[in-house]
């Protein structure tokens, strides 16, 4: 299968991608691929994206060979299982606070004998490939990856136990929510926040787990990569368009005004 999250995570070194929450266009996968993105962080939590939209967009990403990490709206079984049935290979779950919460999500993700996910072989999750049932279930259990979002003080306190779990593949920090939960919203230079990041890095490296972040500036991305963060989503579709458009419009407007 192409566009494999497993293959991406099995590769050492820095992997760069992009956040998509708004632009569910047929060309989005090819646009990302042409720009050099190695993966997409597709958001259903802070967007209007439905499961129908997800299933459509996953076909766009697959066509362009862009592995997709799918952030679901909650830990609910139907959110986990439906995203997988649509073809998601990596589930990003918001606000994972403990190892017990992570285990419960993994149970929803995995087929028997590893979990209690309802059987749906041969659909979009298998790219409509028909195979013997036991073979299909084992392949899905191997293929599907779990990315808990560490974005609360409880998640930071329990990150060592979360990272130690079999089935957890990446620790992804939600920096905005984490600072908000710490009572320091947006203060990314606060000593307490920086200590929290260090704790995540330490746990990830100790247990051989990937480390993921969203970053909106090049220098910040370089600094994170030097600290060991190996999965970086550079910017989001809406913010990147707004930023580039504002720079161009302001540049033309100021240049024209200077000539008058």
Q: How many C-beta atoms lie closer than 10 Å to residue 83's C-beta? A: 28
- Positive or negative torsion for Cα 120, 122, 124, 127: positive
Long-range contacts of 75-84 (CB under 8 A, 24+ apart): 75/101, 75/104, 75/105, 75/108, 77/108, 79/44, 80/105, 80/108, 80/109, 80/117, 81/108, 81/109, 81/117, 81/118, 82/51, 83/44, 83/51, 83/54, 84/109, 84/117, 84/125, 84/140, 84/144
Considering all CA atoms of the chain, what is the largest pairwise distance in Å, rounded to the nearest integer?
Answer: 74
| Helix (H) or strand (E) run with residue 107 in it | helix 99-109
**Would you put residue 130 in left (φ > 0), alpha (ψ -120 to 50) or beta?**
beta
Q: Find out whether 236 and 254 touch, Cβ atoms under 8 Å.
A: no
Using DSSP, state whether 222 is helix, strand or coil. Answer: helix
CA-based nearest residue to 201, from 169, 229, 220, 181 = 229
- Catalytically active residues are 46
Q: Find out whether 71 and 172 touch, Cβ atoms under 8 Å.
A: no
């Amino acid at each position: 299968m192409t566009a494999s999250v497993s293959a991406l995570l099995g590769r050492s070194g820095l992997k760069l991608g992009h956040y998509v929450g708004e632009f569910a266009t047929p060309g989005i996968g090819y646009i990302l691929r042409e720009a050099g993105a190695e993966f997409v962080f597709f958001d259903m939590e802070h967007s209007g994206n439905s499961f129908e939209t997800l299933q459509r967009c996953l076909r766009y990403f697959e066509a362009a060979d862009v592995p997709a990490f799918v952030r679901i709206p909650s830990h609910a079984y139907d959110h986990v299982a439906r995203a997988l049935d649509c073809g998601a290979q990596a589930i990003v779950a918001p606000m994972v606070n403990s190892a017990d919460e992570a285990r419960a999500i993994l149970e929803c993700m995995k087929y028997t004998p590893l979990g209690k996910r309802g059987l749906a072989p041969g659909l979009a999750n298998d790219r409509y490939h028909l195979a013997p049932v036991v073979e299909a279930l084992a392949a899905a259990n191997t293929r599907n990856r779990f990315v808990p979002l560490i974005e609360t003080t409880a998640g930071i306190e329990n990150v060592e136990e979360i990272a130690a779990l079999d089935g957890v593949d990446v620790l992804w920090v939600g920096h905005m929510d984490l600072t908000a939960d710490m009572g320091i919203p947006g203060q990314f230079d606060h000593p307490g926040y920086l200590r929290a990041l260090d704790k995540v890095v330490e746990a990830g490296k100790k247990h051989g787990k990937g480390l993921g972040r969203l970053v909106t500036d090049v220098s910040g991305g370089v600094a994170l990569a030097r600290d060991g963060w190996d999965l970086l989503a550079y910017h989001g579709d809406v913010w990147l368009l707004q930023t580039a458009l504002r720079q161009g419009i302001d540049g033309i407007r100021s240049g024209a005004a200077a000539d008058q």
